[in-house]
Structure 1
Amino acid sequence: MAAAVRKIGGHVPPARGTRPRNRRALILAAAADLFYRRGYADVGMSDIADAVGMGPSALYRHFRSKQHLLMQVVLDGVAPVRDALARSAVEDPDTVLRAVVAATLDHREVGVLWQREGRLLPAAERAEVRREIRAVTAVVAELIQDARPELSPGQAELLAWCGLGVLLSPSFHRIELPRPEYVRLLVELGRAAVTARPAELVPIARSPARPTGIVLRSRREALLGAAVRMFAEQGYAGVAIEDIGAAAGIAGPSVYNHFESKADLLSAAVTRGVEWLSMDMTRALAGAEDDEGALRVLLWSYIRFAAEYSDLVTLLLAEVSHLPTQARHRARQAQVDHLMEWAHLLCAVRPEYGAAQARIRVHAALTAINDVARTRHLRDTAGVAPTLAAVAGAVLGLDPVG
Structure 2
Amino acid sequence: MAAAVRKVGGRVPPARGTRPRNRRALILAAAAELFHRRGYADVGMSDIAEAVGMGPSALYRHFRSKQHLLMQVVLDGVAPVREALARSAVEDPDTVLRAVVAVTLDHREVGVLWQREGRLLPAAERAEVRREIRAVTAVVAGLIRDARPRLSPEQAELLAWCGLGVLLSPSFHRIELPRPEYVRLLVELGRAAVAAPPAELVPNARARPPAGIALRSRREALLTAAVRMFAEQGYAGVAIEDIGAAAGIAGPSVYNHFESKGDLLSAAVTRGIEWLTMDMTGALAGAADPEAALRALLEAYIRFAAEHSDLVSLLLTEVSHLPMSARHRARQAQADYLMEWAHLLCAVRPQYGTAPARIRVHAALTAINDVARTRHLRDTAGVAATLAAVAGAVLGLDPAGEPEPPLDASG
TM-score (normalised: structure 2)? 0.95
Change (3 A) 1:84 1:8: farther
Change (3 A) 1:9 1:25: farther
Change (3 A) 1:270 1:3: closer
Q: Secondary structure at the match of 1:399?
A: coil
Equivalent pair of 2:5/2:51 in contact (CA under 8 Å):
no
Q: Which residue of 1 aligns with 2:203?
A: 203
Equivalent pair of 1:7/1:13 in contact (CA under 8 Å):
no
Q: Deviations over 1:321-378 (max 9, x none)?
A: 0000110000000000000000000000000000000000000000000000000000
Change (3 A) 1:2 1:199: closer
Q: Aligned-pair distance for 1:6?
A: 2.5
Equivalent pair of 2:204/2:376 in contact (CA under 8 Å):
no
Structure-2 separation of matches of 1:162 and 1:303: 13
Q: Deviations over 1:44-99 (max 9, x none)?
A: 00110010111111111111110000000000011111110000000000000000
Change (3 A) 1:80 1:2: closer
1:72 paired to 2:72: yes
> 1:265-304 to 2 correspondence within 5 Å?
265-304=264-303
Aligned-residue CA RMSD in angstroms? 1.5
Q: Aligned-pair distance for 1:242?
A: 0.3
Q: Sequence identity of aligned pairs in percent?
A: 90
Structure-2 separation of matches of 1:312 and 1:134: 24
Q: Which residue of 1 aligns with 2:407?
A: none
Equivalent pair of 1:8/1:29 in contact (CA under 8 Å):
no
Q: Aligned-pair distance for 1:9?
A: 4.7
Equivalent pair of 1:202/1:381 in contact (CA under 8 Å):
yes
Q: Aligned-pair distance for 1:10?
A: 5.9
Q: Aligned-pair distance for 1:401?
A: 1.3
Structure-2 separation of matches of 1:354 and 1:188: 16
Structure-2 separation of matches of 1:137 and 1:2: 41
Change (3 A) 1:305 1:4: closer
Structure-1 separation of matches of 2:284 and 2:316: 23
Q: Aligned-pair distance for 1:134?
A: 0.3
Equivalent pair of 2:201/2:383 in contact (CA under 8 Å):
yes
Change (3 A) 1:266 1:360: same
Q: Aligned-pair distance for 1:8?
A: 4.9
Q: Which residue of 1 aligns with 2:371?
A: 372
Structure-2 separation of matches of 1:101 and 1:7: 25
Structure-1 separation of matches of 2:212 and 2:285: 29
Structure-1 separation of matches of 2:350 and 2:205: 44
Change (3 A) 1:118 1:281: same
Q: Aligned-pair distance for 1:148?
A: 0.3
Q: Aligned-pair distance for 1:203?
A: 2.1
Q: Secondary structure at the match of 1:151?
A: coil
Change (3 A) 1:3 1:221: closer
Q: Aligned-pair distance for 1:3?
A: 4.8
Of 104-113 and 9-18, more deviation after overlay is shown by 9-18
Q: Deviations over 1:276-311 (max 9, x none)?
A: 110111112211000111111111110000000110
Equivalent pair of 2:165/2:363 in contact (CA under 8 Å):
yes
Equivalent pair of 1:9/1:26 in contact (CA under 8 Å):
no
Change (3 A) 1:381 1:22: same
Q: Secondary structure at the match of 1:64?
A: coil
Equivalent pair of 2:364/2:394 in contact (CA under 8 Å):
yes
Q: Aligned-pair distance for 1:205?
A: 4.2
Q: Aligned-pair distance for 1:186?
A: 0.2
Q: Aligned-pair distance for 1:7?
A: 5.6
Kindly tell me the number of residue pairs found equivalent between the two proteins: 400
Change (3 A) 1:246 1:317: same
Q: Which residue of 1 aligns with 2:112?
A: 112
Equivalent pair of 1:201/1:383 in contact (CA under 8 Å):
yes
Q: Which residue of 2 aligns with 1:314?
A: 313
Q: Deviations over 1:13-43 (max 9, x none)?
A: 1011111100000000010010000000000
In structure 2, stretches of 5+ residues that fail to align are: 402-411
Equivalent pair of 1:11/1:26 in contact (CA under 8 Å):
no
Q: Aligned-pair distance for 1:4?
A: 8.1
Equivalent pair of 2:8/2:34 in contact (CA under 8 Å):
no
Equivalent pair of 2:223/2:264 in contact (CA under 8 Å):
yes
Q: Aligned-pair distance for 1:182?
A: 0.3
Equivalent pair of 2:5/2:50 in contact (CA under 8 Å):
no
Q: Secondary structure at the match of 1:393?
A: helix
Equivalent pair of 2:371/2:377 in contact (CA under 8 Å):
yes
Equivalent pair of 1:142/1:156 in contact (CA under 8 Å):
yes
Q: Aligned-pair distance for 1:204?
A: 3.3
Change (3 A) 1:2 1:324: closer
In structure 1, stretches of 5+ residues that fail to align are: none
TM-score (normalised: structure 1)? 0.97
Q: Secondary structure at the match of 1:9?
A: helix
Q: Which residue of 2 aligns with 1:228?
A: 227
Q: Aligned-pair distance for 1:161?
A: 0.1
Equivalent pair of 1:167/1:364 in contact (CA under 8 Å):
yes
Q: Which residue of 2 aligns with 1:249?
A: 248
Q: Which residue of 1 aligns with 2:142?
A: 142
Structure-1 separation of matches of 2:275 and 2:159: 28
Structure-2 separation of matches of 1:3 and 1:12: 9
Equivalent pair of 1:8/1:26 in contact (CA under 8 Å):
no
Equivalent pair of 2:140/2:160 in contact (CA under 8 Å):
yes
Q: Deviations over 1:244-274 (max 9, x none)?
A: 0000000011000000000000000001111
Change (3 A) 1:81 1:10: farther
Structure-1 separation of matches of 2:341 and 2:334: 11
Q: Aligned-pair distance for 1:175?
A: 0.4
Of 12-21 and 308-317, more deviation after overlay is shown by 12-21
